Amino acid sequence: MKGGSMAKFMALILTLAFHGMGSAQAGSFWDTMFFTWGPRQSSVFGNGNVQLLLDKTSGSAVQTKNSYLFGSFEMMIKLVPRNSAGTVTAYYLSSKGDRHDEIDYEFLGNVEGRPYVIHTNIFTQGVGNREQQFHLWFDPRADFHNYTIHWNPYEVVWYVDSIPIRVFRNYENQGIPFPNEQAMKAYSSLWDAEQWATEGGLIKTDWTMAPFTAEFRNFQARACQWYGPYSTAYCSDKNPRNWYTSPAYHQLTYAQQGKLKWVRDNYMIYDYCKDTQRFDWKMPPECSKPQY
């Protein structure tokens, strides 16, 4: 790219990114997202409320039109009611390719009266195996709750109704990969995973309960929009326009750390960093590092 063209391209990036950073990118469903599969199974109503549906023919999924590098991504979700065993409701960020980055919420359904499992994971350069699982302190089928992924150059934080449940810090300078170069889109889906979702696949999907539905609303991305490779430096820059790079977002506050400890002490049911048998005592290196 010649010098003049380069300058014009960079000016365009700066203009577009500046206008995208001041407030949350939110609007109607059609402004921000589109269906990737199962549109006939689903519906859009009100100001952007989406109902995804799963039956024996298909599940359904949506994704954002834009890609992002760093920011805060919020979604209000009401999970599949009654007997949801075998179903998975997902909300996650992901890039593309074999060496993709990904930050996951997966809600594993259960038989009526038993709690959902929140399954979280993070992939860097195509490698995951960093699962942590939780129960919830409320019934996620009864009403909408806020599920947020906060992602900046220093850490990834998973929030439920503003309460942090998990942190993955950036130790790239110590040889531990961190997702900080690949743009990601946000995705939501509802699909059948009866082979593994509920008690390792022991409890299968009860299709007499179909169709299964999950509801989503108020998606917001207070994030740096991706406009090409030059966005890597722009979105990482320590600048007031990149609000998530300010010192306030480098680490959880003491109050947030207290809430995190409460969740992990009372509701965590699996932590890969404690699964010594799985890793034959050769634990992933981040497991010995402070995450909070």
Residue 48 pairs in a beta bridge with none
Tell the residue number behind the tokens 């179903």, with chain if given: 87
Query: 202 CB contacts (<8 Å, ≥6 apart)?
Result: none
CB 272 within 8 A of CB 284: yes
Which helix (H) or strand (E) covers residue 276, if one does?
helix 276-279
Which helix (H) or strand (E) covers residue 150, if one does?
strand 145-151
Q: Which residues are catalytic?
A: 102, 106
Q: Which long-range contacts (CB under 8 A, 24 or more apart) does 166-171 make?
A: 166/120, 166/132, 166/260, 167/252, 167/260, 167/291, 167/292, 168/122, 168/130, 168/286, 168/291, 169/286, 169/289, 169/290, 169/291, 171/285, 171/286, 171/289
